[in-house]
Amino acid sequence: MTGPQARRTAGPERLSPVQERGGRRKRTVERRAEITTSAARIFADQGYAHVGMRDIAEAIGIRGASLYHHFPSKEEILYAICLTVTKEPVEENLPLLDAAGTPTERLTALVGAHVRHLLRRRTEYLVGLHERPSLTPEHRADIDGHLQYYNRRVKDVLAAGMRSGEFRTMNPSLASLGILDMLNGVSSWIRGEADSDADEVVDTYVALLFAGLRAD
Amino acid sequence: MTGPQARRTAGPERLSPVQERGGRRKRTVERRAEITTSAARIFADQGYAHVGMRDIAEAIGIRGASLYHHFPSKEEILYAICLTVTKEPVEENLPLLDAAGTPTERLTALVGAHVRHLLRRRTEYLVGLHERPSLTPEHRADIDGHLQYYNRRVKDVLAAGMRSGEFRTMNPSLASLGILDMLNGVSSWIRGEADSDADEVVDTYVALLFAGLRAD
DNA sequence: GTCTATATGGAGATAGAC
DNA sequence: GTCTATCTCCATATAGAC
């Protein structure tokens, strides 16, 4: 702040990616994943702001100050968690909407993939969907952008199905919001983390969304 | 803690409900409502734990210390907010499930009432549904109890409709969770607060839930 | 019912040795 | 890559006057 140069732009940070073989110190990449995973668990239980850097550090057996070797701030840990539940689904799930098949087939595939991804990253979803107000405005805008893009892609497949006469005509924007809220809500009550635990949820939700409650 | 008597059980608190007529000081009841409403707005924007008692106080033009005349702690403000989105819906919406009519009619009425209540208490829903981890264990258990009761009543009407053949057979527990997640999610994106703003959402959700996406 | 003043504790973050 | 030690700030909550 007082010096002539911004400190983060001074040069490459030279994080040697690997220590000498078999070293007792963890590689940086491993540590980052360990930190975000552990932090997500604690954030989910106690809420982001109530958790201290010391809490996160002690959960993985190091001191609070050591975290700053891996993340420049507590908010950057939260940002990393949020990315795994917003950017990752965009990259992993949305391609299913570009595959061959009817809107029904493509949306069914997306629902299944979404729930299974959510189950693998359950705690991250709990944190990422609820703690966005604690992000910096820049990070918040980035995260919200991924969420909005995902929502828009779902809306588009709904609108395509309505145009082709395969889906009932309704407001596609509201329908996509409702469907995604329903899917994401799973994170707050699901137990277990195997794909088999997701199957019953997916079966019920697919029946509910495509056929509705009303019996034929 | 050190004295022989618990301080809160010593006797009636004698909150004089009204000051002399036209007083410049606000009546206690009004102030409580003003505080919870204002606090909900700020909690929703910035997250419960990032907001200080000073922030809440200054938003209504008083000093931080004065809040403690109305609430014994910051957590009690949050608890009051949570009650309006859990206990109040139980009292105001669930009677619709006891009224005359088919499961379809009763559930349709509940969906409409739920969204309209949510719209009136939008910021409170945002806070109450996300900040439960910040409650004390006792308050948390109370709030979760209301939510679970509400969910159980929805599940029961679904199960009744399935038994009568009116609804398609599916897992009623998962379906009720999905439906309520879809409804509550509205709080995070809806704009406006008139009942008319709710109508389009209700129409879309009722069509989606009862008839499904698939065209007849 | 609201104020000023303050006690008290805890947080995020930094410095520099190893 | 992790440590110890510490800076600095800000939070909740209390005491007691008006």
* Per-position pLDDT tens, chain B of length 216: 333 333 333 333 333 333 333 345 677 888 999 999 999 999 999 999 899 999 999 999 999 999 999 999 999 999 999 999 999 999 999 999 999 999 999 999 999 999 999 999 999 999 999 999 899 999 999 999 999 999 999 999 999 999 999 999 999 999 999 999 999 999 999 998 888 899 999 999 999 999 999 998
Q: What is the mean pLDDT of residues A110-132?
A: 97
B133 vs A159, higher pLDDT? A159
**What pTM did the predictor assign?**
0.89
pLDDT score recorded for residue A101: 98
- The CA–C1' separation of B78 and C2, in angstroms, is 22
- Total Cβ atoms within 10 A of residue B183: 23
Give me the residues of B, 28-57, that contact A with CB < 8 A.
Answer: 44-50
pLDDT score recorded for residue A11: 30
Question: In this complex, do B184 and A186 lie within 8 Å of one another by their Cβ atoms?
Answer: no
Task: Give the model's confidence band at A192: pLDDT under 50 very low, under 70 low, under 90 confident, else very high.
Answer: confident
Separation in Å, CA of B197 to nearest CA in chain A? 12
Question: In this complex, do A215 and B46 lie within 8 Å of one another by their Cβ atoms?
Answer: no
Task: Return the sign of the alpha-carbon dihedral for residues A203, A204, A208, A209.
Answer: negative
A64 sits within 7 Å of strand D by its CB = yes
Domain with CATH 1.10.10.60 in chain B: 19-72
Domain with CATH 1.10.357.10 in chain B: 83-211
Nearest by CB to residue B181, choosing from A49, A158, A181, is A181
- The CA–C1' separation of A213 and C8, in angstroms, is 58
- The CA–C1' separation of A210 and C9, in angstroms, is 55
| Proportion of chain A above pLDDT 70, given as a percent | 88
pLDDT score recorded for residue B27: 78
In angstroms, the CA A194 to CA A185 distance is 18
pLDDT score recorded for residue A90: 98
pLDDT score recorded for residue B25: 65
Task: Give the model's confidence band at A24: pLDDT under 50 very low, under 70 low, under 90 confident, else very high.
Answer: low
Question: In this complex, do B208 and A48 lie within 8 Å of one another by their Cβ atoms?
Answer: no
Best of A102, A183, A189, A208 to substitute, by most chain B Cβ atoms within 10 angstroms, is: A208
Instruction: Check if A167 contacts B (Cβ < 8 Å).
Output: yes
Nearest by CB to residue A168, choosing from B50, B131, B211, is B211
Among residues B193, B161, B198, which one has the least CA distance to residue B183? B198
- Protein contacts of strand C with Cβ less than 7 Å away: A 51-55, 64-65, 68, 72-75; B 15-16, 19, 25-28, 31, 57, 61-66, 69-70
Residues of chain B contacting residue A201, judged by C-beta atoms under 8 Å apart: 174
**Cα B166 to Cα A200, A213, B188, B214, distances in angstroms:** 22, 8, 32, 18
Q: What is the mean pLDDT of residues A117-143?
A: 96
In angstroms, the CA B184 to CA B154 distance is 14
pLDDT score recorded for residue B132: 92
With tokens 């952008």, the residue in question is A145
Q: How many CA atoms lie within 13 A of A62 on its CB side?
A: 18
Give me the residues of B, 171-200, that contact A with CB < 8 A.
Answer: 171, 174-175, 177-182, 184-186, 188-189, 200
Among residues B90, B86, B92, B80, which one has the least CA distance to residue B40? B80
The CATH number of B19-72 is which of 1.10.1270.20, 1.20.1370.20, 1.10.10.60, 3.65.10.10? 1.10.10.60
D12 C1': nearest CA residue? B53
Lookup: nucleotide whose C1' is closest to A53 CA:
C12
Q: How many CA atoms lie within 13 A of A165 on its CB side?
A: 0
CATH superfamily of A83-211: Tetracycline Repressor, domain 2 (1.10.357.10)
Lookup: nucleotide whose C1' is closest to A17 CA:
D1
Q: What is the DSSP letter of A27?
A: P
Q: What is the DSSP letter of B192?
A: -
A57 sits within 7 Å of strand D by its CB = yes
pLDDT score recorded for residue B144: 97
**Cα A174 to Cα A112, A117, A181, distances in angstroms:** 21, 23, 11
In angstroms, the CA B149 to CA B154 distance is 9
Q: How many CB pairs under 8 A join A and B?
A: 154
CB B147 within 8 A of CB A199: no
